[in-house]
């Protein structure tokens, strides 16, 4: 556990994963700084934290080096989450995705180096596995990227590696696999599949599955992601740093089975949701058929032990959407 004086910068702290990290690390008595430009994050995710003396919001942009320097001042650890997510967004606008995810990332590395940050932990992505067919995915074996987004996330790993070797900055990349849970935005063209489907089903609208629904994903509940961030921050094992880890549950479920479960859990609140039909649409460009992580490396090196199975997490998430967004 961190002592009370630890100061953590969470970039993208108003977003889905970032706001959960802000809540958690504040609840553990740390000082938390949130740097966000609200591009895809929301003030309502952090509104309840603004009165907390241990919380500081810096409204700024990682594309601006001065904002990054200001945000990393006197900071012990950086949990870098700020980025433009979504494969389709990056296919529609690769330039802005690259500016934020690559140039912004480099600014954050520079600022962290110059302000003497102890460790820089960053949100990497399972998209780095690209066209590799190997299952389960192991950290050392990646394929070719399938989207501009995937390129940016891979470049992040390369930059972090060079910064650790060249300047001695401690870094850890966490390759998140399809994270879901409270605060994940269900709205907008680039919404992730779980919150989007939950919201549609709550409104009794038919969700559209791209393809035949036999695609599978290693959907990972947010609390597992919080755990692996905390472990990455706290590890004293020098052989566990300057590397990347899969951050997942380590099991996969098809989209068809996922929808059945969402309907089942929502039916506990409104039984008529069980009757909403599912529609099948065309396959999406850049989508891979199956994704499943090996979590052995995080288990062995960081003592990661994910507590939430997909079912357990989904039940929590569905309840949260019902109670907060219905
Ligand atoms: P999100 O969109 O909810 O959060 C991203 C946050 O970054 C938002 O609050 C946004 O306003 C902020 N941001 C964007 N551009 C910025 C800029 N230029 N300057 C400052 N802040 C900026 O997304 P998320 O799902 O919470 O993702 C967090 C991180 O995890 C991202 O790096 C994403 O690529 C990565 N990731 C997420 C998943 C997932 O399943 N959600 C999977 C793999 C990787």
Q: In angstroms, rounded to a whole number, what is the distance separating the alpha carbons of residues 295 and 139?
A: 9
C-alpha to C-alpha distance for 148 and 155, rounded to whole angstroms: 11
Distance 47 CA to ligand 1 centre (A): 18
Q: Does the beta carbon of 104 sit less than 6 angstroms from any atom of ligand 1?
A: yes
Q: At a CB cut-off of 8 Å and minimum separation 6, what does 294 contact?
A: 136, 137, 138, 139, 246, 250
DSSP letters along 86-100, please? Answer: -HHHHHH-HHHHHII
Q: What are the pLDDT digits (tens) for 199-258?
A: 999 999 999 999 999 999 999 999 999 999 999 999 999 999 999 999 999 999 999 999
pTM: 0.98
φ, ψ of residue 9 in degrees (nearest 5): -95, 125
- CB 111 less than 6 A from any atom of ligand 1: no
249 catalytically annotated: no
**Is 227 a pocket residue for ligand 1 (Cβ < 6 Å)?**
no
Per-residue pLDDT, 1: 41
What is the pLDDT, as a whole number, of residue 4? 57
Residue 195's pLDDT is what? 98
Cα–Cα distance list, 284 to 91, 208, 234 (Å): 11, 12, 39
- Ligand 1 atom nearest 178 alpha carbon: 40
Distance 326 CA to ligand 1 centre (A): 24
Select which of 24, 77, 129, 149 is catalytic: 149
Bond preceding residue 263 cis, omega within 30 of 0: no
Terminal C-alpha separation, the chain:
36
Distance 81 CA to ligand 1 centre (A): 5
Could you say which residues of the chain have pLDDT below 70?
Answer: 1-4
Q: What are the extents of the domains in the chain?
A: 7-180+221-250+292-307
Cβ-contact 230, 322 below 8 angstroms = no
Atom number in ligand 1 closest to CA 127: 43
For the CA of 104, the nearest atom of ligand 1? 18
Place of tokens 């870098």: 80
> Ligand 1 in contact with 68 (CB < 6 A)?
no
Contacts within 8 Å (CB) and 24+ apart, 143-148: 146/87, 146/286, 146/288, 147/87, 147/90, 147/91, 147/286, 148/90, 148/91, 148/94, 148/97, 148/98
For ligand 1, what atom is nearest to the CA of residue 14? Answer: 9
- C-alpha 121/C-alpha 233 separation (Å) is 7
Identify any residues that bridge with 35 across adjacent strands, giving them in sequence order: 11, 58
Strand partners, 175: 124, 246
Q: Is the CB of 195 under 6 A from ligand 1?
A: no
Write out the two tokens for 113: 């180096």
Q: Contact 81/15 with Cβ under 8 angstroms?
A: yes
User: 105: CA distance to ligand 1 center in Å?
Assistant: 12
Q: For 7-180+221-250+292-307, CATH number?
A: 3.40.50.720
């Amino acid at each position: 556990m961190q002592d009370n004086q630890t100061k953590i910068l969470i970039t993208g702290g108003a977003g889905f994963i970032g706001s959960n990290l802000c809540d958690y690390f504040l609840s553990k008595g740390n000082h938390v700084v949130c740097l966000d430009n609200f591009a895809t994050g929301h003030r309502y995710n952090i509104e309840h934290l603004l009165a907390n003396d241990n919380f500081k919001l810096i409204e700024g942009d990682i594309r601006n080096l001065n904002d990054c320097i200001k945000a990393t001042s006197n900071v012990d650890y950086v949990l870098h989450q700020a980025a433009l997510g979504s494969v389709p967004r990056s296919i529609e606008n690769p330039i802005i995705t690259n500016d934020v995810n690559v140039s912004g990332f480099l600014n954050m590395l520079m600022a962290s180096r110059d302000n003497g940050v102890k460790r820089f932990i960053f949100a990497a992505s399972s998209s780095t596995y690209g066209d590799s067919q190997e299952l389960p995915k192991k950290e050392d074996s990646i394929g070719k990227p399938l989207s501009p987004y995937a390129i940016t996330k891979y470049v992040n790993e390369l930059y972090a590696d060079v910064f650790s070797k060249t300047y001695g900055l401690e870094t850890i990349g966490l390759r998140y696999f399809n994270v879901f849970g409270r605060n994940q935005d269900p709205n907008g063209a680039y919404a992730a599949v779980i919150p989007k489907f939950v919201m549609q089903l709550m409104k009794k609208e038919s969700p559209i599955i791209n393809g035949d629904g036999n695609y599978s994903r290693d959907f990972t509940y947010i609390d597992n992601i919080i755990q692996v961030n905390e472990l990455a921050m706290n590890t004293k094992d020098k052989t566990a740093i300057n590397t990347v880890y899969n951050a997942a549950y380590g099991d996969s479920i098809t989209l068809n089975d996922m929808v059945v479960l969402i309907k089942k859990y929502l039916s506990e609140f409104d039984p008529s949701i069980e009757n909403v039909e599912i529609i099948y649409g065309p396959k999406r460009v850049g989508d891979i058929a199956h994704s499943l992580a090996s979590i052995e490396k995080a288990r062995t090196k960081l003592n990661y032990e994910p507590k939430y199975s997909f079912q357990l997490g989904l039940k929590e998430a569905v309840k949260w959407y019902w109670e907060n967004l219905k």
